[in-house]
Amino acid sequence: MQLYNLKHPNQQVSFRQATLQSIGRDSGLFFPSILPRFDDIDSLLSMSFVDRSSAILQHLLGDEFGHDTIDDMVRNAFTFPVPVVPVEDNICTLELFHGPTLAFKDFGARFMAQVMSHLIERGDHNGPLTILSATSGDTGAAVAHAFHNVPNIQVVVLYPKGKISSLQEKLFCTLGGNIHTIAVESDFDTCQDLVKQCFADAELVRRYGLNSANSINISRLIAQTTYYFEATAQLRGKEVVISVPSGNFGNLTAGLIAQSLGAPIKAFIASTNINDTVPRYLATGDWRVNLTQATMSNAMDVSAPNNWPRIEALFARHQKAPNVELRYNAVTEAETTEAMLQLKNAGYISEPHGAVAYASLKKLLLQGEHGVFLGTAHPAKFKDSVEATLQQSIRLPAELEAVANRKVLSSTISANKRELENQLAIYVAD
């Protein structure tokens, strides 16, 4: 797969390079130069999820990896089911939270870990490789689990001390081995800023082989195309409209790539909470970033979505306008609560992110269409808000039960690059 830098189209890289570098010159995002359509969608849709995912990734990456390598990576990464669950006559949900950290980010993070570990094994990367990221919860957990025990890779995850739930902390700060977690005495934005300062320090990047593993990394998005095909496979013959609860817009980018490859999806709904930069932009043509507001769907509390330039580029390539092709909607907190209650009445327990997508679907689904809202996290991951809203208790799934009593292994630092560098020196031998 050949990719180019959206800011400097002359910078062209392979998928291997794009994965190892994460980001191009001047922080430009990498995007595939061509997205070759499948000519036989019918036979593709007849396959099982894992076989089909292997076929899709071979179609895209077969020029860089052998058939068996891709097949192994897919089988190691996608070890959990992807059910479509009916909720109402014409509405269902695609449950993407059956992986080890109970959120859809497991798909991208686990595939990326497979690719990285393969590249190290075959010598495409020399010297240390350190994944450094800041998390407000879900990304850190997915990345930590995906890279746990992968040889020759160290993972360092920063999070704001005391500002993530105790259960979230247990999920990724108890692993040990090559996973190093640091509680920073500050907030999430400061954690992210510390990480940025490290990436801006060329000497530090070189010494530790820093890589970010957030949705800037194209390998995550390419992996996520597979479950969009699964939704259409399970709903064959229907006019499928998919509502995507969006924050950084990586998930929607993956959906649009799947559609370009030939997945029979009639339309997408870009659904946000009140951090609504994209819906406002689509309505007015004016890109204006407001201050981020805290909501129940906190993984979507993003007001400057990283992946939007990729979506613009894709529509431009098809000579289409995003505000014509995309349906869009911003959901208030009251509407989110209302949606969770409606879903409960329909016999389905959802958490705030999925509920945002459902609320938009109820508003924008047309006669004759079949709606799918993406279930991006397990309700137990947002236990407090789900229990408070639905007035019922939620059982912990085995994954969370298992870690609830483990010891948190994090170190604590103040928000200071020097202190972070000292920790890196301890964790990563150069």
Give the DSSP H or E segment for 158.
strand 153-160
Half-sphere exposure of 425 (CA within 13 A, CB side): 6
> Is residue 125 a contact point for ligand PLP (CB under 6 A)?
no
* Region of 19-27, 110-118, 249-257, 420-428 interacting with ligand PLP (CB under 6 A): 249-257
What's the closest the beta carbon of residue 357 comes to ligand PLP, in angstroms? 9
Burial readout 303-318 (b: 16 or more C-beta within 10 A, e: otherwise):
bebbbbbbbebbbeee
Q: State the Cα–Cα distance between residues 149 and 151, nearest whole angstrom.
A: 6
**CB-wise, 61 or 103, nearer to ligand PLP?**
103
What's the closest the beta carbon of residue 72 comes to ligand PLP, in angstroms? 26
What's the closest the beta carbon of residue 245 comes to ligand PLP, in angstroms? 5
**CB-wise, 65 or 107, nearer to ligand PLP?**
107
* Region of 42-50, 246-254, 342-350, 399-407 interacting with ligand PLP (CB under 6 A): 246-254
Which one of 18, 23, 74, 103 is in contact with ligand PLP (CB under 6 A)?
Answer: 103
Which one of 249, 268, 328, 358 is in contact with ligand PLP (CB under 6 A)?
Answer: 249
218-234 vs 250-261: helix crossing angle, rounded to 10? 60
DSSP states of 335-385: HHHHHHHHHHHTT----HHHHHHHHHHHHHPPTT-EEEEEE-B-GGGGHHH
Which one of 248, 337, 350, 385 is in contact with ligand PLP (CB under 6 A)?
Answer: 248
| Residues 159/181, Cβ–Cβ less than 8 Å | yes
> Is residue 300 a contact point for ligand PLP (CB under 6 A)?
yes
> Is residue 215 a contact point for ligand PLP (CB under 6 A)?
yes
Q: Which amino acid is at 199?
A: F
> Is residue 155 a contact point for ligand PLP (CB under 6 A)?
no
Question: How many residues at the interface with ligand PLP, by CB under 6 A?
Answer: 16
Site string for ligand PLP, 332-351 (x = CB under 6 A): --------------------
| Residues 94/84, Cβ–Cβ less than 8 Å | yes
* Dihedral over Cα of 139, 140, 145, 150: its sign: positive
CA 309 vs. chain centroid, Å, equals: 16
**CB-wise, 105 or 310, nearer to ligand PLP?**
105
Side-by-side strand order, sheet with 2-5: 12-14, 2-5, 30-32
Which one of 125, 161, 170, 353 is in contact with ligand PLP (CB under 6 A)?
Answer: 353
* Region of 244-252, 327-335, 341-349, 404-412 interacting with ligand PLP (CB under 6 A): 244-252
**149: CB partners within 8 A, 6+ apart:** 177, 178
DSSP-assigned beta bridge partners for residue 240: 370
What's the closest the beta carbon of residue 351 comes to ligand PLP, in angstroms? 7
**CB-wise, 103 or 204, nearer to ligand PLP?**
103
Half-sphere exposure of 359 (CA within 13 A, CB side): 26
Q: State the Cα–Cα distance between residues 330 and 103, nearest whole angstrom.
A: 22
What's the closest the beta carbon of residue 374 comes to ligand PLP, in angstroms? 8
> Is residue 299 a contact point for ligand PLP (CB under 6 A)?
yes
> Is residue 378 a contact point for ligand PLP (CB under 6 A)?
no
> Is residue 245 a contact point for ligand PLP (CB under 6 A)?
yes
DSSP type of residue 27: G
What's the closest the beta carbon of residue 99 comes to ligand PLP, in angstroms? 12
> Is residue 214 a contact point for ligand PLP (CB under 6 A)?
no
- Residues interacting with ligand PLP, by CB under 6 A? 103, 105, 138, 215, 245-251, 299-300, 353, 376-377
